[in-house]
Structure 1
């Protein structure tokens, strides 16, 4: 297969890396399948960390190759891609979107999202977005499977949460705060939100580790990655039509400490580590 404009030198190097991107995705997919199939959490952690390290290494390699590509040669540029999270009206899309955004933040992909969380507009280099989609497909299955198992156990039913109840008394509305058992939907949202946060932190940790290693062995890499980041920022500013911020990455209004702890544990078992909250809110798209 011949690609016009890629002739010798660094252009040939970039072409070789471009051709190998499918192989890289296949390797990542294989590691994810191994992570899913093992019952050993330490093995699962190792497989997912290896997948993220491979993704980061490949992304850095491509960034270095792009930085040396002559203007006359075919050069990869950022793209916008629509990621469908779910159909309008489907419940639970907010935590699905949280998961994708957490993965994207660790793989140099910026996101806008519609107010109803049905569609994410991903901005980044095609290979980085491919990696995000591969990771999301695997981790979404794990998140849903783990939350369903947690709900079947039913431990959340032993917990209560404070809710505001509005009643009509003597012709006026009176708000009263009462304790009620945690609902299944509340438990699910809290579980999946904590799971997504833990996933994002672990992937970010793996990315930072490989970037430090590469910078030590190749000191000019930091400058290349900075150039890549600036190119993506310029593309995002010139392309995005989003306004405001998405509220979906905030903690659920009704909280379940038990569900959040369980979701965090499941995030660890799904190959991830310590977790701050998700990064700053993506911008919201009006629909």
Structure 2
């Protein structure tokens, strides 16, 4: 069951976030977009709990979402961002081995919300990392990577410090950005769920019905069962790694950008991911 009105309201909040120069207002609008997505998810769970017809009509689906073209560098950090957003919105993922696409498992409305948030936040992440590299702040910083020295039984793993390259800086920046944005969205979801729980308590004496937490848990189990029946994936996805090394400086910069994240260029929502340069 798709709720186009809710998706339009989320899109409007993203436009407001992009349209303000005030950092705090932008954060407020982003949080409001996630809270609205969570509220819609709760409404879906409640409708399915009380209406057998809605339960039979609204079932989990699998949807393929393109991340980028094969061979494009940095797709793992794009996937990292998608995974972080999906985790806050009841969507389970399988990831292609080359990170060119994900398979999203969940309810249509939840996947729609994840795609809207992802597209806007991806543009912001790329723009923020571009600005970081252009600033030159990464120059003079060091990256750490584990290498093996020696051969045979005398070989050992050591940490090697090297100058921070632009690609390593970008990957570390974007990975930290994705983690911070995911944490913010999870916090917004938790706030909305707590409000729903308080509302449950307020009406508990008047109405006997499952709590919001129970209804959401039933919804979560249904998605999990659907995923188990449909997925053919082996193993599990791990967060993006900067193959050339790890940089505290770049990650700190990415985390700061994630804290400030504004949802970018609403008019490009739905634009092909391949058009976004990494």
TM-score, structure 1 length as denominator?
Answer: 0.81
Unaligned runs of 5+ in 2: 202-210, 264-278
Q: Please, which of 248, 252, 255 is the counterpart of residue 242 of structure 2?
A: 252
Equivalent of residue 108 in structure 1, options 80, 85, 90: 90
Partner of 2:43: 61
Aligned to 1:285: none
Deviation at residue 37 of structure 1 after TM alignment: 2.6
Mapped contact 1:88–1:116 kept (Cα < 8 A): yes
Report the CA distance between 1:72 and its aligned residue. Answer: 8.9
Work out which of the residue numbers 96, 117, 123 in structure 2 matches 1:141: 123
Task: Render the CA deviation track for 1:55-104: whole Å, top value 9, x for unaligned.
Answer: 10111011100111225985200000001101111111000000000000
Residue from 131, 136, 158 that aligns with 1:154: 136
Higher relative contact order (CA 8 A, sep 6+): 2
Check the 8 A contact 1:84/1:118 in 2, yes or no.
yes
* Residues in 2 aligned to 1:163 and 1:200: alpha-carbon distance in whole angstroms: 26
Equivalent of residue 194 in structure 2, options 212, 237, 241: 212
* Conservation of the 8 A alpha-carbon contact between 2:145 and 2:246: no
Shift in Å, 1:175: 9.2
The CA RMSD measured in Å over matched residues stands at: 2.5
- After TM superposition, give the deviation of residue 218 of structure 1 in Å: 2.0
TM-score by length of 2: 0.83
Cα deviations by residue, 1:27-73 (Å, 9 ceiling, x for unpaired) = 11111122123221100110000000111011101110011122598
1:231 paired with 2:217, answer no
Shift of 1:186: 0.2
- Decide which of 218, 222, 231 is 2:213's aligned counterpart: 222
SS of equivalent residue, structure 1 residue 157: coil
Q: Which position in structure 2 is the counterpart of 1:202?
A: 184
- CA deviation map 1:235-262 (0-9, x unaligned): 0111110001223x05424011111111
Q: Report the CA distance shift for 1:177/1:103 in structure 2 as closer, same or farther (over 3 A).
A: closer
- Paired residues, number: 250
Structure 1: which 5+ residue stretches go unaligned?
1-17, 273-287
